[in-house]
């Protein structure tokens, strides 16, 4: 059950695209990853905070525990994948902790401030579209 959104499939497809990006970068060979100059644990924290915040923006607060568990499971699966693929990556408990910190950060931000952000975006876009349509009318 998502929030009352005009384009829920679009938001979900974009969100699952972000999940796919996290999985692909998490399972890439280490030497193929670009150097960002940012600490690896901060990258993990940011990525999972973004995922948590994304999905918290399209689902109601009652779904936040499901979002947290799903993302936590994703992080574990990516670490397991790294350990079995033998492509120059290894599982790291500190990555799981950084992911968990990111999930918590994203959901706290959603709880106190940014939850339901997708509704706000759609309302803004609708308002802009109405103003443009009003200007176009003779």
* Digit-coded pLDDT (tens) for 79-132: 999 999 887 888 899 999 999 999 999 999 999 999 889 888 888 876 665 655
Please give the structure tokens belonging to residue 82.
């790294």
Q: Kindly report the CA angle at 76 between 73 and 79, in degrees rounded to 5?
A: 150
Over its C-alpha atoms, the chain yields an Rg (Å, rounded) of 18
pTM for the full predicted model:
0.87
Alpha helices in the chain, H assignment, sequence order = 8-27, 40-58, 64-85, 93-109, 117-136
How far apart CA 91 and CA 74 sit, in angstroms, is 13
Contact 51, 106 (CB under 8 A): yes
How far apart CA 19 and CA 8 sit, in angstroms, is 16
The overall average pLDDT reported for the chain is: 89
């Amino acid at each position: 059950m998502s929030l009352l959104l005009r384009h829920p499939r679009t938001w979900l497809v974009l969100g699952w695209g972000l999940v796919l990006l996290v999985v692909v970068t998490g399972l890439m060979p280490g030497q193929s990853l670009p150097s960002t100059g940012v600490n690896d644990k901060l990258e993990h924290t940011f990525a999972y905070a973004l995922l948590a915040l994304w999905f918290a923006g399209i689902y109601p607060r009652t779904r936040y525990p499901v979002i947290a568990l799903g993302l936590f499971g994703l992080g574990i699966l990516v670490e397991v994948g790294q350990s079995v693929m033998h492509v120059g990556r290894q599982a790291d408990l500190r990555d799981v902790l950084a992911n968990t910190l990111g999930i918590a950060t994203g959901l706290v931000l959603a709880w106190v401030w940014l939850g339901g952000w997708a509704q706000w975006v759609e309302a803004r876009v609708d308002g802009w579209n109405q103003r443009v349509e009003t200007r176009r009318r003779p």
